[in-house]
Amino acid sequence: MQTGTFAETDGNAGNICLNANELIIDKGTIISSTLGNRRGGNIDIFSTDVKMNDGSIKARSIGGLGDAGSISLTAKTISLNDLSIISTSATQTGGGNIEVQVHDHLHLFDSGITARTQGNQPHHSGGNLTIRKPQLLTLNNSQLLANAYAGNGGNISIIAGHFIQSSDSLLSASSELGIDGNITIDSSIEDFSDIQVLPSKFGDKPKLLNNRCAIRSRQGFSTFRITTRDVLPVSPEDLR
């Protein structure tokens, strides 16, 4: 699904407005582009459930001075998987904004939501990224970006019930030559950065069971006892 305007076009690109009970984008694209000096069209999506697998929703400005359009997405649940992307981008001008409003959960796995610009003038600021009211926001090896080159970085605003971010995920509102944007998070943040990966191999069973109770007790017979513990032992060795 696409709308756009070209270099010789006088008017702005058309907008895309989509209402759906369930929206599934599987290796597909919804895109609004401008190649000239006119503004790109906006993308507005209203749905109960949005599922994206290697899919994209893009509003972009390519090569011209027209600003990229903005993206607004409202849904009960949103899941982005397998390199899915929701993005606004501009090569020579300011970036468009992205607003995501979710009532239940927003999950990103190997995916991103980005508002970026490569404009080379101080007023070419990055777009703003706003995420409102999901009960649960999770980032797993994913990105939330509002970056710029010459202008100021965009702002990232997150309001969520709970926010879980993996250690390999990235939040950035930076600018290479301008002033970095602000990142504001109003949420209960769950920190899982210290979680350790469990070993893939179990303990050496022959080694653990090498000596029978009778041999260790030197009494010539084995015993079996049932007792209670306040906590589980750290190692099977502690069961002796």
- Residue 1, Cβ neighbours under 10 Å: how many? 12
Give the closest residue to 148 by CA, choosing from 113, 166, 172.
Answer: 172
pLDDT at 212 over 60: no
In a domain, 197, yes or no: no
Mean pLDDT of the chain: 84
Determine the residue type at 16. I
Specify whether the CB–CB gap between 106 and 136 falls below 8 A: yes
In a domain, 234, yes or no: yes
216 by DSSP, 3-state: which?
helix
**What's the pLDDT score for residue 213?**
58
211 with 185, same domain? no
Distance CA 113, CA 145 (A): 7
In a domain, 40, yes or no: yes
Distance CA 169, CA 138 (A): 10
153 with 89, same domain? yes
152 with 215, same domain? no
- Residue 109: burial class (beta carbons within 10 Å; 0-12, 13-18, 19+): middle
pLDDT at 91 over 70: yes
**Which range marks the domain in which residue 218 is found?**
205-239
In a domain, 198, yes or no: no
81 with 181, same domain? yes
In a domain, 196, yes or no: no
7 with 102, same domain? yes
75 DSSP 8-state letter: E
14 with 120, same domain? yes
Chain segment 118-172, per-residue pLDDT in tens = 888 888 888 999 999 999 999 999 999 999 998 999 999 999 999 999 999 999 9
Chain segment 4-46, per-residue pLDDT in tens = 555 555 556 678 999 999 999 999 999 988 876 777 789 999 9
